[in-house]
Structures are given as structure tokens and as C-alpha cells.
Structure 1
Amino acid sequence: MERIAVIDFETNGLSPGSSCRATEIAVILVENGKMVDRYQSLMNAGVWIPSDIERLTGISNRMLKSAPPASEVMQEAARFVGNTPLLAHNASFDKKFWDYELGLLGQRRTQDFACSMLLARRLLPQAPNHKLGTLNRYLGLPDTGRAHRALADTEMAANLALYLASHLQQHYGLAEVTHGLLCKLQKQPAAKVKVWLQGLSV
């Protein structure tokens, strides 16, 4: 598989805005079936973390006080990713925050997002559910640490992406799994996925 940047944000809410911002980011670069590089940092955007979010993530307001400014972290993360295609689990969430934080820097995303949750729904419909932790336990993938911390979640999503790429190669005879193929696959109606994939291997 070509190089893909797998990302995860922790945030203090659900929709980005002046009072809802990213509090942590992690990026893992995946290439040729391996994790080859990573970036992780807390990020201080001057927002308050509610107690329920602090319990969920373990990220406290005290921790953010000593964290680098969000603008500095996002600039570093954007440079680290460059033009590499992106992937996240439940990408619609992370895409919102990536685009918002980039926008505050006067930058715009140029690459598409693949979504490991949508891909898993199409390739693993038999899974108990398609939450990241559930899928990793169901597939026997490595335990990467505390859920709802950016690096652990990014490692889980990277392991899942690598599994799905291998699944596509082994079960559908695909010689190469590209980011573009993943983006097309996640848009296919679930009932038509097998026929669509079989058509690619002909």
C-alpha cells in the first residue's frame, strides 16, 4: 500500500468552533504494510475541557496549560503530513477538525480522507459493531494503550487499515490497494461491495 497518513484528534467537543477545538493530535505514516513514522502532541487552543471529556480522554485542563499552542502543533502536523493521503476512523469527525485547524492557519486540505469505519462496515459486516476498539478486539489486533488518547487510537486505526488492505489482497486477489481504491470502496452500497470488488480483480 502506498504511503497514507492515519490521524486522530482528541477534542473538547463534537463540532469545531471558537469554544470547541482540538486538544491532541497524532499522525502515523503507514507504507508498504508498516508504520514508518509518527507525530503526536497535546495542543493548547485556550479552550476549557469539561469534566466528562476529561474523564473520557484523561486529558486535563492542567495538562493543556503546559502544552504548545494549537497553531504551532497544527503547523508541525501539516508539515509532517504534507500531501500524503489521509485516513481516520470515523473520518467525518477528524476531517472537520483537520479542516478547521488548517483554516485558522490560512491553509486548505488538498487530499481526500479514507474512513476505516466505513471500510470496515463494507468488508466486515459480521463484526459486533464498527467502533475502533471493538474491531481491534474482534480481529485480535494489538492493544495499543488507553482508548481516546490520540496516539493509541491512531495506532489502532493504522493496524485496522493494514488489516483491511491485506484482507482486500487475500480475499479479492487485488495486486495493489491504493488510497484511491479505499475512497471509492467506502462509497459503494454495502450490498454491492462483493460484486464491485470482484470486478476489480478480473
Structure 2
Amino acid sequence: MSSNSDKYVIFDVETTGFNPQHGARIIEIGVVHIENGNIISEFKSLINCGKAVSKQAQKVNGITNEMLSGEPTPEEVFPDFLKFISKSTLVAHNAVFDISFLRYELSRLGFVLSNDYLCTLNISRKIFPDLENHKLLTVAKHILVNLPKNLHLHRALDDARLTAMIWMEMMQR
């Protein structure tokens, strides 16, 4: 696919709901920077966006309104996020979902997300067409020899780390 000498930033977001056009917001972001096939740095933050987390979203990510109390605001987190990602190519599992939320949050602050991005969900559909589904855990179980211990699925940094692991394996194929 591509060489491991490239720089990629793998990221994941957790949200209050499922659609930014209906007012859902990012409440957690996890980011992993890969260079030469190695994780070289990470960035993560809970985000107090001032919006309640829906019961449905809480069931998915386990993040409660109480957990967000006292956490940094979008105005504090996203400028640091933009510095962290720089001009790197972004990678996410189901990137359309994550990118739509990022663009929404950044536009609220007057920023534009212009980074190229790739989607491990779409790539897995192409290179593993016979998988039962292409959820992150399904792809990870298929492609990785061992899953990380103490993995917290649907938490941003752990999902970004898992996506980074499958991304690096995909780049070998």
C-alpha cells in the first residue's frame, strides 16, 4: 500500500451522540502519531463541551457527564490537537464519522481541517471482503496475532491505538 517511512496520525473520537448535525459533540479524543512504522507520541483528552452525553452514547463509550466535569473545553483542546497533527495524513476506523465531528468542532472555533485522511474500515472491506463485519474489533482479531491487554473499546485512545496496530499491519500487505 505505502511505505512505513510515511507519517500518519491515527485518531478516534467519542461523542455525546451520533450526528453533529443534530447537535452531538466530541467528548473525548485520542491520537497516535506513527513514523517509520513506530508509535512515537500520543495525545488524548476528555472534553467538556457543555452538552449532556446521551444515554445511548454512554452505553457505547461509558463516558458520563460527571466524568467530563472539570475537563478542558473544546477551545482548550482543539488548538493543541491541530498542532499535534500538523499536516500529517489522518487515519481512522470509519473515518467519515470521526472526520465529520472533527470538522464540525473545528469550524465552531474558526478552524478548517484540510488534512488528507484514510479509512481503515474501507481498506478492510477491500482487503478482507469475507469478514463477517468490519467493526474495529473484528478487523483487529482477524489481522493481529495478539490483542492488547486491558483494552477499553470505545474509548478514544485505546481505539486509536488499536486502529494504529491494524493500520501498521495493513501497510505490510
TM-score normalised according to structure 2 size: 0.91
- Once residues 163 and 146 of structure 2 are traced to their aligned partners in structure 1, the CA distance between those partners, rounded to angstroms, is 10
Cα distance per residue 1:87-141 (max 9 Å; x no partner): 1000000010111111112111122110000011111112221110111112234
How big is the shift at 1:54? Answer: 1.4
For structure 2, the 5+ residue unaligned runs are: none
Match of 2:95 in 1: 91
Match of 1:130 in 2: 134
Aligned 8 A contact 1:141 1:159 in 2 = no
- Once residues 146 and 97 of structure 2 are traced to their aligned partners in structure 1, the CA distance between those partners, rounded to angstroms, is 23
Compare 23-32 and 121-130 and name the one that shifted more: 121-130
The structure 1 residue matched to 2:114, chosen from 85, 110, 114, is 110
Q: Rate the CA distance shift 1:18–1:76 in 2: closer, same or farther, 3 A.
A: farther
- Once residues 21 and 77 of structure 2 are traced to their aligned partners in structure 1, the CA distance between those partners, rounded to angstroms, is 17
Match of 2:34 in 1: 30
The structure 1 residue matched to 2:73, chosen from 53, 69, 72, is 69
Aligned 8 A contact 1:7 1:28 in 2 = yes
Match of 1:154 in 2: 160
Aligned 8 A contact 2:88 2:116 in 1 = no
Structure with the larger RCO, 1 or 2 (CA within 8 Å, 6+ apart) = 2
Match of 2:170 in 1: 164
Q: CA RMSD in A?
A: 1.4
**Count of residues in correspondence between the two structures:** 167
Match of 1:173 in 2: none
Aligned 8 A contact 1:10 1:150 in 2 = yes
Aligned 8 A contact 2:17 2:56 in 1 = no
Tell me which protein shows more helix as a share of its residues.
Answer: 1
Larger radius of gyration, structure 1 or 2?
1
Counterpart residue type for residue 164 of structure 1: M
How big is the shift at 1:5? Answer: 0.6
For structure 1, the 5+ residue unaligned runs are: 168-202
- Once residues 23 and 59 of structure 2 are traced to their aligned partners in structure 1, the CA distance between those partners, rounded to angstroms, is 19
Aligned 8 A contact 2:90 2:116 in 1 = yes
- Once residues 164 and 147 of structure 2 are traced to their aligned partners in structure 1, the CA distance between those partners, rounded to angstroms, is 11
TM-score normalised according to structure 1 size: 0.79
